[in-house]
Amino acid sequence: MDDRDTLFSLLGSAELPSLDAVADAFDPARLTQARFAAGLSKAKLAELVGITPAAIGQYESRVVTPRRDVLPVLARELDVPVGYFATGRPIGRVDGSEAHFRSLRSTTARDRSKAIAFIEQVWELTFALEKKVRFPNVDLPVLDRQHADPISAAHTLREHWGLGVKPVKHLVALTESHGIVVSLLTLANADVARVGAFSTSRLARPVVVVTPERAKSVFVYRFTVAHELGHLLLHGEAAPGDQQQEREADQFAAEFLTPRSQIVNLLPRTVNLSRLDELSRHWGVSVESLLLRMRETGSVSDASIRRGYQKLNHLRSSSLDAPEPVNAYPGEVPSMLAEAARLADQIGFTQIDLARELRWHPTRVREVLGVDDPRPTLRLVNDPSPE
């Protein structure tokens, strides 16, 4: 069941804005955002709506306003309520150069735009909730980015959060408790999944989004979150495609999760996978990450490392080494937004109110909150068609 503007819509017809009102308050940035969120080019959207690509360009550049009869079609094709296109609420604006993307080389500009639209929506939802719920203050150390290096930044964050030198427990819950929004994208969306993860510190409250692709293994997922923390601390201005920034974020993540001073004495002197698996489960990092650590320490040859990877791949292709899913680790599942929504609900600000304020379908609200649809699944049990 979806929540479109139908007879069964959760928003009463009296609450739906008139087409005149939307047209009068039409915000081109909202059309662009919705188009990016849907992953559509101007040409594709124009084809779906039945107008010219030039018309879409003119709507988005404020040259003309869409006709009244086009607005519902645009809304239907972009899967938003018509009211979404109207001004009157804060918009999280993130430029492509202000967000960091994992797997950038394998992603297209359209994928990145879609990811940015999602991160903007996460921020807008957070902003709407913050009117009703007090969130933790953002608690990140301030570094001199001109001179900061990834290793000392990792030490600084450990010290700032009082983590000592032990394994970082419940990384996502810890990150949220320090005021950073983490969202695990539940959309089975191939486009954004290719992005892997993304984050921005350009909005008032930093946001980290991880896609399902990175959540198949809790160890890869933790490293990804730590990688994004590295970006938030080290890189104010993102440089899309900058491999140096990616390397630095990886170095930060490795040092943050497995401080060299500790791990160097624990790594075996040969590629002993059972030992590495034991360490992996203790520190919450993948065996691959530990193999890289072994290479860094120079305790084994590159050939041995290569063989370690071959062994791992063999184990995985034989299904002898199944990944550990994130949802088996409650401390790694984002919960702050859902918990804030629950508190807001207690004071009468329901998910429907949230959807109304954001001008989203309620399904989208639940998606970004990371909560399940509480309604029962209905199915047709009697085929009314004549035999």
For binding to other proteins (CB under 8 A), which residues are involved?
127, 130-138, 166-171, 173-174, 176-177, 179, 204-205, 222, 265-266, 268-272, 275, 278-279, 281-284, 301, 303-304, 306-307, 310-311, 314, 329-332, 335-336, 339-340, 343-344, 346-347
Closest contact distance (angstroms) between CB of 245 and other proteins is 24
- Closest to other proteins by CB, 113 or 183: 183
**How far is CA 297 from its chain centroid?**
33
- How many angstroms separate the CA atoms of 322 and 329, rounded? 15
Q: Closest Cα partner for 73 from 9, 2, 22?
A: 22
Burial 168-181 (b: 16+ CB within 10 A, else e): bebbbbbbbebebb
**Sheet of 197-200, strands arranged across:** 100-101, 197-200, 207-210, 181-184
- Closest to other proteins by CB, 56 or 182: 182
Pair of tokens at residue 95: 């430029």
Residue 260 burial class via C-beta count within 10 angstroms: exposed 0-12, middle 13-18, buried 19 and up: middle
- How many angstroms separate the CA atoms of 76 and 32, rounded? 15
- Closest to other proteins by CB, 13 or 318: 318
Closest contact distance (angstroms) between CB of 257 and other proteins is 8
- How many angstroms separate the CA atoms of 107 and 11, rounded? 37
Closest contact distance (angstroms) between CB of 166 and other proteins is 7
Closest contact distance (angstroms) between CB of 207 and other proteins is 11
DSSP string, 253-282: HHHHHS-HHHHTTTS-SS--HHHHHHHHHH
- Closest to other proteins by CB, 93 or 169: 169
DSSP string, 300-338: S-HHHHHHHHHHHHHHHHTTSS----GGG-GGGS--HHH
Q: How many CA atoms lie within 13 A of 80 on its CB side?
A: 22
The DSSP call for residue 207 is E
Closest contact distance (angstroms) between CB of 159 and other proteins is 17
**CA-to-CA separations, 12 to 15, 23, 106, in angstroms, rounded:** 5, 20, 43
Closest contact distance (angstroms) between CB of 379 and other proteins is 37
Closest contact distance (angstroms) between CB of 302 and other proteins is 10
- How many angstroms separate the CA atoms of 254 and 168, rounded? 12
- Closest to other proteins by CB, 247 or 314: 314
Closest contact distance (angstroms) between CB of 319 and other proteins is 16
Closest contact distance (angstroms) between CB of 52 and other proteins is 41
